[in-house]
Structure 1
């Protein structure tokens, strides 16, 4: 692949940096621009272009290709203007597909929740089976960082990446499908379509579905030909995996589903049952996903990566029999919290502390559902922990599972989770 005109990087995160490194290695003299809507654009050997200068730059064809970062919505009007001017818009993932896809086995895993755990488990099961496999996408390396290093590549992909994915995997997997990321996609319907683009197209590839995805009519239609579906695990395999999960660090029924889906995928690509069991035993929870600490006798669970009500439900289900203080709420994405509110009492929640902005709706829905839950609306995470420090007798477990993104108060979910753990350590470790 050669580039006959300068390239614009829209976005300046990890993927953009790996794209710059890829271009530098391939064509050292290629001119590269970078544009960001906010934050830093400090990528070496690039020239910055302000967003408001792009219409003029497009009109004068200052670049011949735009490589868009996943977090930048493909539906921004500037990209339509670029396409109308004959300037294509692509991604780090699609550049990988154009250059490195050939002669590789590609597994692509998506879903509203569970995709990172499923992808990580699949990778562990394959490597423990002696298969040369790499992990890329939203976990592991950026696509262009993994390049041609492995014969098998497991991609964990968001709806941002599947929406315009141009190449076809050998195995496509969907864990489940719930509304999310409406602000990026513009509507729930478009989110579904962009997520399901992974399977809703022609091509000779296999499909694996998580338990929740199997009962979804939209997923069923997207699969098109159900002869694509991988065979189910045998009852013996399923039982053996369930027993292995019970001995592992995988918590909750949703993680059993993830492990069984990963095993189904891994078996299709040549893994052994022994390798699958070794992979389950080797799994360690990903940072900020049911990441567990104990401070002064209080179990503190950092589930900051939770950005949907469904993820919060799964987090609560992983701690049966506990007296739970739940911290939830964050950036507004017009998600429905009524069902979550109705489940809190049955999941052991006796104390709910909410954060702006979505916390207001969750607090109201919870107060309407139950008088048995103490509800407190905090202005920030510091105030939330202050409140819980004075209500210590009510709970034995604190779970931060916001069910919403962090952008209104934090740069990202990692920053939110780290601050939560830091505050809990300071408040409870000496108790």
Structure 2
């Protein structure tokens, strides 16, 4: 738990009591702050009170008098699709608004003078690949003997981390929900994995979504920016970052031909990672043999992680050895098992069409389980990338609509995961792949994508 005396005696309200909200409330209470909490779910609020936390009195007329700050959890809509009443009330009362990420960076900046060698923060954002990239960085640093912690949008909430130490590295995966609210964002290394439209209702459209991601780089605090330039958004970010922050360095990452290589560039081309500096190749390593993390998208993730670890001082040969031992993330193109020559792959983390397209391009002879709470209005790019799909099995509360927008035949309207796994396993033959890659959120049937993936794993293990 991270505690800090800088919030002693402050009056703080926390909105949203998921994992990060509870961790924040307990840490600030330990720090000597007066903490009031709120969650719209009465059962969640009751459990928080049973843990010793005090609920905000919503009937008190002057409830914002004396409040120093409102902290908003990432699960609470900040402005779109509808601003929460508590956020609106705090805004009218001119109460500052922040979140756990902003508080975390504020504590680090305020206490840096207390460290002989201050800790460094590597922050990773983007639409897809940020979990694999951040977890791979964490893995490499462990193998290199670095003291490291890992959290943010994956694993531990930031205030669940252990007290920060000298020379330590903190690896954070940061979502757009976290970035849009945080007042301070000051990583030493900021990473942009890629960009595709997502969470559009939450950000008021694609521009709002990109603006949230871009905030990680707008602060001007990072010494190094690592940017995948294979999208127009990445190119724009690189250009703006170079012109606005002359004291920082940028590392370009690309899966295309290595052009304009006077800049520090890490590319994956023809199944090789190549590092270029001053127009010269300084290191390369093969990528095709890495069976634990397959696909071109993972080659890009490896390049991003390689660049981050080089920027922090890890030798290339150490990174190469560590990458070979990385086994990948659960729920992201995860091999569950093989039965009668049929592979079962769990890709439940593919909650949008771009992420699912990656899996569809990685395998052949696919029996594809997809569907759920749809995010995008159009699914046309999925049909374009489904040339290796033999049949589709649609799950979710409304499989008919999803199937109609997908426009792929043959397909089965299954609804439940049980029916989809049963049908796919009966129809698959040796050499086929049964792939769960939903291209949709899980909330119509599951608490989160992890629960959806765990259900798939449970069903598959019964037939293995």
1:275 counterpart residue number: 318
C-alpha separation in 2, matches of 1:83 and 1:145 = 28
Deviation string, structure 1 residues 65-120 (Cα, Å, up to 9, x no partner): 22211121221243132022022222111111111243322211101000011111
**1:2 is aligned to 2:42:** no
Question: Which structure 2 segments of 5+ residues have no match?
Answer: 1-5, 113-117, 252-263, 276-282
Task: Looking at secondary structure, tell me which structure has more strand per residue.
Answer: 2
1:65 counterpart residue number: 69
1:156 counterpart residue number: 173
Pick aligned residue for 1:88 from 84, 89, 96: 96
Pick aligned residue for 2:350 from 306, 312, 324: 306
C-alpha separation in 2, matches of 1:39 and 1:191 = 31
Over aligned residue pairs, what C-alpha RMSD do you find?
2.8
Equivalent residues in 2 for 1:202-213, closer than 5 Å: 202-203=220-221, 205-213=223-231
C-alpha separation in 1, matches of 2:227 and 2:442 = 29
C-alpha separation in 2, matches of 1:222 and 1:328 = 38
1:233 counterpart residue number: 266
Pick aligned residue for 2:393 from 335, 353, 366: 353
Shift of 1:7: 2.4
Equivalent residues in 2 for 1:107-146, closer than 5 Å: 107-146=122-161
Shift of 1:173: 0.8
Deviation string, structure 1 residues 102-150 (Cα, Å, up to 9, x no partner): 3322211101000011111122222323332322212343212224146
Once structures 1 and 2 are overlaid, which stretch shifts more, 99-108 or 154-163? Answer: 99-108
Pick aligned residue for 2:52 from 45, 50, 68: 45
Q: Structure with the greater relative contact order (CA < 8 A, sep ≥ 6): 1 or 2? A: 1
Shift of 1:232: 1.2
Pick aligned residue for 1:328 from 370, 376, 387: 370
- With normalisation by structure 2, the TM-score equals 0.81
Deviation string, structure 1 residues 171-190 (Cα, Å, up to 9, x no partner): 11100011111232232221
Pick aligned residue for 1:171 from 189, 194, 202: 189
* Structure 2 CA distance for partners of 1:342 and 1:187, relative to 1, 3 Å: same
C-alpha separation in 2, matches of 1:110 and 1:407 = 23
**1:18 is aligned to 2:27:** no
Contact 1:59–1:85 under 8 Å retained in 2: no
* Structure 2 CA distance for partners of 1:107 and 1:58, relative to 1, 3 Å: farther
Once structures 1 and 2 are overlaid, which stretch shifts more, 301-310 or 18-27? Answer: 18-27
* Structure 2 CA distance for partners of 1:220 and 1:247, relative to 1, 3 Å: closer
Secondary structure in 1 aligned to 2:164? Answer: coil
Secondary structure in 1 aligned to 2:298? Answer: helix
Pick aligned residue for 2:121 from 103, 106, 111: 106
C-alpha separation in 1, matches of 2:43 and 2:289 = 43
Secondary structure in 2 aligned to 1:184? Answer: helix
Contact 2:193–2:301 under 8 Å retained in 1: yes
- With normalisation by structure 1, the TM-score equals 0.87
2:206 counterpart residue number: 188
C-alpha separation in 1, matches of 2:133 and 2:325 = 13
Contact 2:372–2:399 under 8 Å retained in 1: yes
Deviation string, structure 1 residues 151-207 (Cα, Å, up to 9, x no partner): 221111111112233132121110001111123223222111111111134345321
Equivalent residues in 2 for 1:410-425, closer than 5 Å: 410-425=446-461
**1:260 is aligned to 2:320:** no
C-alpha separation in 2, matches of 1:58 and 1:253 = 56
* Structure 2 CA distance for partners of 1:84 and 1:245, relative to 1, 3 Å: farther
Shift of 1:343: 1.9
* Structure 2 CA distance for partners of 1:357 and 1:335, relative to 1, 3 Å: farther
Deviation string, structure 1 residues 205-248 (Cα, Å, up to 9, x no partner): 32111253477454345535286412213899628664256235
C-alpha separation in 2, matches of 1:217 and 1:241 = 24
Contact 1:244–1:280 under 8 Å retained in 2: no
* Structure 2 CA distance for partners of 1:419 and 1:169, relative to 1, 3 Å: same
1:199 counterpart residue number: 217
C-alpha separation in 2, matches of 1:62 and 1:33 = 15
C-alpha separation in 2, matches of 1:286 and 1:94 = 27
C-alpha separation in 1, matches of 2:39 and 2:62 = 13
Question: Which structure 1 segments of 5+ residues have no match?
Answer: none
C-alpha separation in 2, matches of 1:45 and 1:422 = 36
